[in-house]
Amino acid sequence: MKILVPVKRVIDYNVKPRVKADGSGVDLANVKMSMNPFDEIAVEEAIRIKEAGNAEEIVAVSVGPAKAQETLRTALAMGADRAILVESDEDLEPLAVAKILKAIVEEEQPGLVLLGKQSISDDSNQTGQMLAALLDRPQGTFANTITLEGDSITVKREIDGGLETVKLTLPAIVTTDLRLNEPRYASLPNIMKAKKKPLDTKSPADFGVDTAPRLKTLKVSEPPVRQAGEKVEDVDALVAKIKALGIA
């Protein structure tokens, strides 16, 4: 089986995003960028499946600017075999990304597509579900544990009330949640090796996908800032405050 792993280049999760003064977006100039953390989890899971002998090849895909090559090299250094960059300078919407991924799935015929549940930049939480719909395939979102058995995959999902288990017929789409695994760091020798692994570059037009945005961002603003309140001296003072608020 082949596994396809879409990885997105996003602002590093340690950076505090700043809104641009003109309200046009978030300032990404000179900001550290990394692989979306949920996608690292997806790459890690794909590698573990391969290591367990249940997959032969892992293909990482990124839709994004030329710099997204770095993100793909990280995936290759972790253990992906091959990468595809679909180059676009626009920040494409999940629907457009899903359509590009659909075309790649049709070409590559993976048994499993492993995505992150959410990009920490646009916080959409849509692409995997959209891809599953476009391909008319089953989806296991917010995966906590996955188990492959013959032509099916069992996915334990993190849901609001606890956990839920579903069984999907392969080929299937799975999106990762935080507890699925702890991603490995790429070793230096593997980073060196990754430089020689194949990386194809394509464009959205190669797949005949119309990527025109469907949503117009009118403005991006700062959320209301919370002011720090006061520090109290001791528990007695805290109790008095809490009682004054009528909470207890």
Ligand X SMILES: Cc1cc2nc3c(=O)[nH]c(=O)nc-3n(C[C@H](O)[C@H](O)[C@H](O)COP(=O)(O)OP(=O)(O)OC[C@H]3O[C@@H](n4cnc5c(N)ncnc54)[C@H](O)[C@@H]3O)c2cc1C
Angstrom CA distances, 159 to 38, 132, 162, stand at 16, 19, 5
CA 7 to chain centre: 6
Q: Is 139 in the site for ligand AMP (CB under 6 A)?
A: no
Q: Is 148 in the site for another protein (CB under 8 A)?
A: no
Q: Which does 148 bind (CB under 5 to 8 A by kind): another protein, ligand X, ligand AMP, none?
A: none
Q: Is 191 in the site for ligand X (CB under 6 A)?
A: no
Q: Is the dihedral of CA 74, 78, 84, 90 positive or negative?
A: negative
Q: Helix 94-108 to helix 127-135 angle, to the nearest 10 degrees?
A: 50
Q: Is 1 in the site for another protein (CB under 8 A)?
A: no
Q: Is 97 in the site for ligand AMP (CB under 6 A)?
A: yes
Binding mask 30-69 for ligand AMP (x = CB under 6 A): ------x-xx---------------------xxxx-----
Q: Is 13 in the site for ligand X (CB under 6 A)?
A: yes
Across the strands, what pairs with 156? 145, 165
Angstrom CA distances, 105 to 61, 98, 109, 198, 237, stand at 11, 10, 5, 18, 61
CB burial of residue 106 (10 Å; 0-12, 13-18, 19+)? exposed
Q: Which does 234 bind (CB under 5 to 8 A by kind): ligand X, another protein, ligand AMP, none?
A: another protein
The answer to whether 156 and 180 are in contact (CB under 8 A) is no
**Residues of this chain, 104-143, that bind another protein according to CB under 8 A:** 117-118, 120-134, 136-142
Q: Is 120 in the site for ligand X (CB under 6 A)?
A: yes
Determine which residue in the list 3, 73, 85, 118 makes contact with ligand AMP, applying CB under 6 A.
118
Of 128 and 204, the one with the shorter C-beta distance to ligand X is: 128
Q: Is 94 in the site for ligand AMP (CB under 6 A)?
A: yes
